[in-house]
Amino acid sequence: MSLNNQDRFVFLPLGGAGEIGMNLNLYGFGPPGKEKWIMIDLGITFNNGSMTGIDVIMPDPVYIEKKRKNLLGLILTHAHEDHLGAVPYLWSRLKCPIYATPFTAGVLETKLIESEYITNAKINIVKLNGEFKLEPFKLKFVTLTHSIPEPSGIIIKTPIGTVFHTGDWKLDPNPVSGPPSNQDELRKLGNKGVMAIVCDSTNVFDYGHSGSESDLLKTLSNIISNCPGKIAISCFSSNVARLETISTAAKKNGRAVGIVGRSLQRIEKIARNTGYLKNTPPFLKEDQINEINDSQLLIICTGSQGEPRAALTKILTNQHRTIKLSDKDTIIFSSRIIPGNEVSVNNLYNLIASKGIKSFTSKDHLTHVSGHPGQDDLKKMYELIKPKVSIPVHGEFRHLIEHSRLALKFGASQAVIVKNGDLINLSEKCTKIIKTVEVGRLSLDGSRLIELNSEIYKSKKRAMWHGTATLTIGLNTVKRKVFSPQVATTGLFENEKDPILIQAIEIANVTAQNALETGLKNDKKIAENIRIAIRKHFKIKLGKRPITTIHLVQVE
């Protein structure tokens, strides 16, 4: 492709810059306003408890939705929820081809089958380290390592220059499951010249390397050898390598392994279908677990973050139909606490302690290694690809600032700190933010998506904090007669005989009667007078401003 003097190469994050999760990255090439676009990742995040009545949150793709005729494809770096979890909900608004490696495609296909939103999304499977073209972009997957199979960085080549988008990664020399990072390809890339790197910042404050998956086997095996009863190990369900490591440690200690939790069972099936876990014996099904003696049993379960519906929580609260744990048993957390989950995890630790169950965590034992790069991993990456410009993403602002500082130390000539909505002009001479576009957030409300700044969400939030009151009042404006209101409330009173509620009904009667006596016949004005009077009463008596609705019915 020849280069037009009006062409530009731009980067636009709509999610994942200044935060961890909800990754949505756009790259555009062409004259301003006529760019062709590619999207890298389309993820979700989960509510950390700070927002009322919400579980799942995702970026609003409205900016690129308006330009979807020029959206060439969605490329997925790996199969974690914060990178592909929004595809089932948002693809119908984009309707572009999807590109992913086999394991990532397998995870997405399973999600789409279970989804009510999509039946016809086309997934193009790209082999590991595979290349393809979406003109004017030439793209290549580069195999890296992470805490899930087949994480891939993306080489994005254009006539203006080359960008390397890392996705989530680390440099694990012995990853247990799957190949190690393709450092030869990274070195070749660096020798050819890289204009910019858009890079993971999650562990930028961690000194040294992030550690190898193979480092865990000895510690886990030693802990298991000293536990008399049942052992439950909780880990992230997507960590296929961890399933293999735990299985090997269990086998060394003569224990059979069962897996508990739908997400673990789903991932195991996808992993085996795509060539992983070849040397790992089949796991026990849930209905087989109780056939094994406690001293010969190890259970891998979901729930390391204290999720209320996960297997570990159900087991500890006696909600699981078959599995129980006692003070003779042990729980091992082969995981870390995800920022924002501290309260739920600490509640889980307290529950375990209250039952007298012994536990081990990564705070004091090597039961987990991260899937993100520490400072030495970052240094190695910068040495390999030698980018001129660093654009840190996948981190809060303190992470981005520290990453920028290190990038300059590691050889980059420029570092640009961005936030969601910043449109960045990519250039070897001067990469800079040229404008900021509007960004939004969507939440899953039952089976629909709503904007977080919408009146629906604001009303749900008000109702949660202040309750609701609905009064239906019969009027005869000719005879100037008011019939006693019917009242329904939520979150305000224990019963309909509460004195404050009885007073509210009297106030409604009096307000309506006064309106009629003064000759007011406009139903909307009468209803508004009653609403204001009732709200004032509730504010004085309860300190609350409930959502108050007045229905007027004309009665003969």
Over residues 162-210, the pLDDT tens digits come to 999 999 999 999 999 999 999 999 999 999 999 999 999 999 999 999 9
Question: Alpha-carbon torsion 318, 320, 321, 325, what sign?
Answer: negative
pLDDT band at 113 (very low <50, low <70, confident <90, very high): confident
Question: In a 3-state reduction of DSSP, which class is residue 84?
Answer: helix
Mean pLDDT of 26-48: 93
Map out the domains of the chain with their CATH numbers. 9-208+370-451 (3.60.15.10), 213-360 (3.40.50.10710), 467-554 (3.10.20.580)
- 3 state SS of 215: helix
| Residue 121 clears pLDDT 90, i.e. is over it | no
Quote the pLDDT of residue 439.
Answer: 93
Q: Give mean pLDDT, residues 117-134.
A: 89
* CB of 10 closer than 8 Å to CB of 162: no
Instruction: Give the 3-state secondary structure of residue 319.
Output: coil
Quick one: which of 53, 54, 56, 58 has its CA closest to 19? 58
What interhelical angle do 262-273 and 240-252 show, nearest 10?
A: 100
Q: What is the pLDDT of residues 354-389, one digit of tens each?
A: 999 999 999 999 999 999 999 999 999 999 999 999
> Which residues does residue 223 pair with via DSSP β-bridges, in sequence order?
none
How does pLDDT run across 165-177, given as a tens digit for each residue?
999 999 999 999 9
- Please give the full DSSP string across 323-354, using - where no structure is assigned: ----TT-EEEEES-PPTT-HHHHHHHHHHHHH
Position 475 scores a pLDDT of 87
Tell me what the mean pLDDT of segment 31-45 comes to.
Answer: 96
Confidence of residue 151 (pLDDT cuts 50, 70, 90): very high
Query: Order of strands across the sheet with 414-415?
Result: 131-134, 137-143, 152-157, 162-165, 196-200, 389-393, 414-415
Position 456 scores a pLDDT of 74
pLDDT tens digits for 237-269?
999 999 999 999 999 999 999 999 999 999 999
- Which pLDDT band holds residue 77 (cuts at 50, 70, 90)? very high
Task: Take residue 430 and report the two structure tokens written for it.
Answer: 């001067």
Residue range 96-105: mean pLDDT, rounded: 97
For the residues 145-151, what does the mean pLDDT come to? 97
**Res. 460 pLDDT band, cuts 50 70 90:** confident
Which of 53, 3, 52 has its CA nearest to residue 29?
Answer: 3
**Mean pLDDT, the chain, whole residue set:** 93
- State the pLDDT at residue 289: 94
Query: Is a pLDDT exceeding 70 seen at residue 313?
Result: yes
Rounded to an integer, the average pLDDT of 130-138 is 98
Q: What is the pLDDT of residue 114?
A: 80
Stated as kind and residue range, the H or E segment containing 398 is helix 397-409
User: For a pLDDT cut of 90, what percent of the chain falls above it?
Assistant: 78
Confidence label for 118 from pLDDT (cuts 50, 70 and 90): low
Q: What is the pLDDT of residue 19?
A: 93
The pLDDT of residue 40 is above 90: yes
Q: Residues for the chain: how many in total?
A: 556
Q: Which amino acid is at 234?
A: S
Task: Write down the pLDDT at residue 429.
Answer: 86
Report the alpha-carbon distance of residue 519 to residue 371 in Å, rounded: 73
Q: What is the pLDDT of residue 52?
A: 61
| Cβ pair 255, 283 in contact under 8 A | no
Burial class (CB in 10 A: 0-12, 13-18, 19+), 335: buried
* Chain centroid, CA 115 distance in Å: 17
Taking the C-alpha atoms of residue 200 and residue 17, their distance in angstroms, rounded to an integer, is 10
Query: If pLDDT is split at 50, 70 and 90, which confidence band does 523 have?
Result: confident
pLDDT for res 46: 77
Q: Tokens for 188?
A: 């070749």
What are the backbone angles phi and psi of residue 3, rounded to the nearest 5°?
-95, 120
* Token duo for residue 23: 């990754």
Which residues does 452 contact at the CB level (< 8 Å), separation at least 6?
A: 51, 54, 57, 440, 441, 442, 443
Q: Is the pLDDT of residue 477 over 80?
A: no
